[in-house]
Amino acid sequence: MFDEKDLLLEARHVTRRFSTPSGRELVACNDVNLKLYRGKTLGLVGESGCGKSTFMRFLVWLDRPTEGEILYRGKDITKLKGRQLHDMRQHIQMVFQDPSTSFNPKMKIRDIVCEPLLNYGRIRHSQRDEKARELLEMVELPGDFADRYPHNMSGGQRQRVAIARALALEPEIVVMDEATSALDVSVQETVIELITRLQREKNITIGFICHNLGFIQSFSHQIAVMYLGNIVEVMPGDQLSSLCCHPYSKALLNAVFDTKMDFSRKIEPIKGEPPSPLDVPVGCPFQDRCDQCMPICRERRPVLTEISPGHEVACHRYGEGVSA
């Protein structure tokens, strides 16, 4: 589906384990294998607590995996320390869900968007005004917003400032953690339009975390579905409706309104509740919520298998060479 020469970052067998006070073990990410390509968006989707944010935090060094490696341009970034880590941070930036919690409320917007550039010696203090105006206009905000404080702006405006700050260092990869979920629906659309325009202009790779499969298909080139720390399906974003075949992926898609506002389609809530991450059943983690569960599903965990170009699924009902 994608040209391998455009491969920018690859996660190989990434696992994250947490020890609990009681001595038990919680596996937040279980043998995750994903690829991010230059200029493309990878949408990582799943219910709250499935491990998607934990995985994306590895990419910006907010956490480290227990096992596995994450290769950026062939170098394992999980092993970086000191100056190497400091220099590498320029290339991978993050936009958080709620910018009001990631901004210093006492700093003006000028200082917020220019702080990364000053930290890396990219500009002098005397150049802040000019650079702040340039960055704000890039995200379609008036340049004079540089004199405002975060609390003087709407949620959508603050998120645009967060995007401007993330792009200030001209990174190759931007991680967006539910970057639109706190915004009104009408504002979400304009922010996504902004993100896709900037991606085309700057050839940025984006990792986008979301819990709404119907929403993310509108702008993702590739979608990975995660359940209880496991990647259960990976597919091209523009073929989601036709390719989607894992029971959990289908359940996610059926649980939201159609993006084309087709209200004639029945919305079906996902059956049951996910088990505790401390008590993931043997075999397929989705077995107790799946109406297609077979005996083998309770005995052996399915592994991701490519069933068509660019489409992988972890389900015992599908095997190599089986059409989706």
pLDDT at 96 over 60: yes
pLDDT at 84 over 60: yes
14-23, 223-232, 269-278: least confident range? 269-278
The tokens 């008036």 sit on which residue? 142
Phi, psi angle pair for 59, to nearest 5°: -70, -25
pLDDT at 70 over 90: yes
Superfamily name and number for 4-106+149-313 = P-loop containing nucleotide triphosphate hydrolases (3.40.50.300)
Global confidence as pTM: 0.90
pLDDT at 324 over 90: no
Confidence band of 267 (pLDDT split at 50, 70, 90): low
pLDDT at 258 over 60: no
CA 183, distance to chain mean position in Å, is 17
pLDDT digits (tens, 9 = 90+) for 165-192: 999 999 999 999 888 877 787 788 898 9
One DSSP character per residue, 25-50 reads EEEEEEEEEEEEETT-EEEEE-STTS
pLDDT at 228 over 50: yes
Identify the top-confidence range among 15-19, 262-266, 272-276.
15-19
Q: What is the predicted pLDDT for the residue at 179?
A: 81
As a whole-number percent, the residues of the chain with pLDDT over 90 amount to 69
Q: Long-range contacts for 118-125 (Cβ within 8 Å, ≥24 apart)?
A: 120/90, 120/169, 122/169
The span from the CA of 243 to the CA of 323, in Å, is 9
pLDDT digits (tens, 9 = 90+) for 279-297: 888 999 999 999 889 999 9
Domain ranges of the chain: 4-106+149-313
Q: What is the predicted pLDDT for the residue at 183?
A: 77
Q: Which two tokens stand for residue 178?
A: 């539910």
The span from the CA of 90 to the CA of 60, in Å, is 10
